[in-house]
Amino acid sequence: MRTLRVQVRLAVLLAGLCLWMHATHSAATEVIMLSLNDGKSISGDLVKADKDKVVVKVGDGDQAKDIAYTWDLVRKVSNGLTRDKILQQWAKDNPDLVCADCKGEGKIVCPKCNGKGFLPDAPKVPCTKCLQTGFIKCTNYQCTLGKVPCDGPCLKPNEGTWTKGKDGLLYRRFVYQGGFAEWSEQHYGEVVQMKEGKPVNIGKCDKCKGTLKMDCPLCKGAAKIQCPACKGSKSMVPDCTECKDGKIACPTCHGSGEKPAAKTGDAKTDDVKK
């Protein structure tokens, strides 16, 4: 009986240890979110990333599988990782293998536009960025139809601690010397201030008038901003047809950043030997 109990205890201990090791192990893997060029996003454990692709483990347990995304599909990685950063690191670690023409970057400045990404001397074309309206949708990510969340001092659902009261409403408590006062969620957008040591509701917030929203500082509430490509003129200098953002793939290494295998060099040494 006693041995059994000891065994059980040991088993529990072992299981605990395994769990702990598993937990520490999973804490080491990094969960990332991939934003793809087609608008989809994928989140999972980062398995590896090299200059060709990013591999993420998607799903749980038996369902988990590694999926590789080549960099041309990837718009953004949540931890800031880019192919350029990987190439830069690789070039640093392998100075002997680096392509001399692009210094390992895999890209060179576009000769057609001198790296500008557009052709300043070409005749103007109808703006493709704003569909010739002169305006684009406001680019402030917080902006919805010209409004952003109020940054004034008013009561907000995402600030302070809100606890459910007996009536089912959420309440925020303000403690002061001698007691406390509470205001419910029905007072969102109102301002509570300390007056003579006591919290007092002084009414609607000046900034949002109690709506929790205020005009977006970028578009001033218009929800659109002047098109940066044509500055509102509706016609723009055309994009360079040869490149993307002023860079083209390095022709020497075909974008890999690696020094091409020196076949011709070998042949020459052979010649010398003869």
Residue 229 lies near Zn ion (rule: CB under 5 A): yes
Quote the strand ranges of 6-78, DSSP E.
31-36, 41-49, 53-58, 65-70, 74-77
Residue 242 lies near Zn ion (rule: CB under 5 A): yes
Residue 99 lies near Zn ion (rule: CB under 5 A): yes
Residue 91 lies near Zn ion (rule: CB under 5 A): no
Indicate the residue among 67 and 218 with the shorter CB distance to Zn ion.
218
Closest separation in Å from C-beta 177 to Zn ion: 27
φ/ψ (deg, to 5) at 165 = -90, 180
The candidate with the shortest Cα–Cα distance to 157, out of 146, 145, 169, is 169
| CA distance linking residue 121 with residue 136, whole number of Å | 25
Indicate the residue among 181 and 223 with the shorter CB distance to Zn ion.
223
Q: Which stretch binds Zn ion (CB under 5 A): 11-19, 24-32, 67-75, 253-261?
A: 253-261
Among 83, 172, 187, 207, binds Zn ion (CB under 5 A): 207
Residue 150 lies near Zn ion (rule: CB under 5 A): yes
Compute CA distances 206 → 148, 157, 215, 221, 267, whole Å.
Answer: 15, 18, 13, 17, 80
Q: Which stretch binds Zn ion (CB under 5 A): 37-45, 75-83, 250-258, 266-274?
A: 250-258
Indicate the residue among 46 and 258 with the shorter CB distance to Zn ion.
258
Among 34, 56, 87, 219, binds Zn ion (CB under 5 A): 219
Identify the three-state secondary structure at position 102.
coil
Residue 110 lies near Zn ion (rule: CB under 5 A): yes
HSE of 89, CA atoms in CB hemisphere, 13 A: 9
What are the structure tokens assigned to 49, written together?
Answer: 């990333």
Closest separation in Å from C-beta 53 to Zn ion: 19
Among 54, 74, 143, 192, binds Zn ion (CB under 5 A): 143
Residue 175 parent element (H or E): strand 170-176
DSSP for 202-265 reads: EEE-TTTTTSSEEE-TTTTTSSEEE-TTTTTSSEEPPBPSS-BTTEEE-TTTTTS-BPPP-HHH
The candidate with the shortest Cα–Cα distance to 51, out of 85, 102, 16, is 85
Identify the three-state secondary structure at position 84.
helix
Indicate the residue among 56 and 248 with the shorter CB distance to Zn ion.
248
Indicate the residue among 49 and 102 with the shorter CB distance to Zn ion.
102
HSE of 9, CA atoms in CB hemisphere, 13 A: 6
Residue 253 lies near Zn ion (rule: CB under 5 A): yes
| CA distance linking residue 36 with residue 75, whole number of Å | 5
Among 78, 88, 226, 252, binds Zn ion (CB under 5 A): 252
Residue 227 lies near Zn ion (rule: CB under 5 A): yes
Among 49, 98, 154, 237, binds Zn ion (CB under 5 A): 154
Residue 87 lies near Zn ion (rule: CB under 5 A): no
How many residues form the binding site for Zn ion (CB under 5 A)?
30
Provide the binding-site residues for Zn ion, judged by CB under 5 A. Answer: 99, 101-102, 110, 112-113, 127, 129-130, 138, 140, 143, 150, 152, 154, 205, 207-208, 216, 218-219, 227, 229-230, 240, 242-243, 250, 252-253
